[in-house]
Amino acid sequence: MCSFIARCVDSVQRLARQFRREERGAILVEMTLITPLMIALTAGVFEFGTIIHRKLLIEAGLRDAARFMARCTEDFVNPDPDTNYCISTAQNIAKYGTPAAGTFRVADWAADEPVAIATYDTANPVDPDTGLQDYRGTGTTVRTIRVTTTYNYGAGSLLFYIGVGPINIAASHEERFVGY
């Protein structure tokens, strides 16, 4: 029995020495260890690029909608609750890129993620040193349009499959009201 154990130990030592000297499988082992990491890093770069691209598309839509609202006077001149042409058109411009509903700017931007449009007034005081108002205009107040939205990224993305919840992207843009 002792000679059997000695032969087993000897053969294991011989295999270990042979394994240390052998280099043919080293590349395979290294690639087996590195490949999953490289695939994960590459996928992460593409995912991050997609998030940034969608955020830029959303911000462009909000900017376009705010510029439209800053020049649209119908809602401010005659605020009729039955017709809100300026607001609905601006919301369509933000989401679809056109005044009428169509294809979303961002493919999975859900209809239940609204584009909120609000206005607020800012005082326009006169500077005592120069005698000029702080903002160009004739009134004592300046009306500003604020367009905001949120977007949940992650429903069909790689992040969803690895267990990272949706990423909420919030964006807004403001423009001073100038009318037509």
48-57, 123-132, 158-167: which is most confident = 48-57
User: Identity (one letter) of the amino acid at 112?
Assistant: D
Among 14-18, 29-33, 102-106, 150-154, the range scoring the smallest mean pLDDT is 14-18
Q: How confident is the model at residue 171 (pLDDT cuts 50, 70, 90)?
A: very high
Q: Measure the CA–CA gap between 11 and 5, rounded to whole angstroms.
A: 10
pLDDT of 67 reads 93
- Please state whether beta strands 141-153 and 115-123 pair in parallel, antiparallel, or not at all (unpaired): antiparallel
pLDDT of 131 reads 78
pLDDT of 63 reads 95
The burial class, CB within 10 Å (0-12 / 13-18 / 19+), for 55 is middle
Q: Measure the CA–CA gap between 103 and 128, rounded to whole angstroms.
A: 52
Q: Measure the CA–CA gap between 170 and 143, rounded to whole angstroms.
A: 23
pLDDT score of 137 more than 80: no
Query: Which residues lie across from 126 on neighbouring strands?
Result: 133
Q: Measure the CA–CA gap between 66 and 90, rounded to whole angstroms.
A: 7
Mean pLDDT of the chain: 82
What is the domain partition of the chain in residue ranges? 1-176
pLDDT of 163 reads 76
Q: Measure the CA–CA gap between 22 and 16, rounded to whole angstroms.
A: 10
**Number of alpha carbons in the 13 Å side-chain half-sphere of residue 80:** 8
Supply the pTM of this predicted model. Answer: 0.72
pLDDT of 121 reads 86
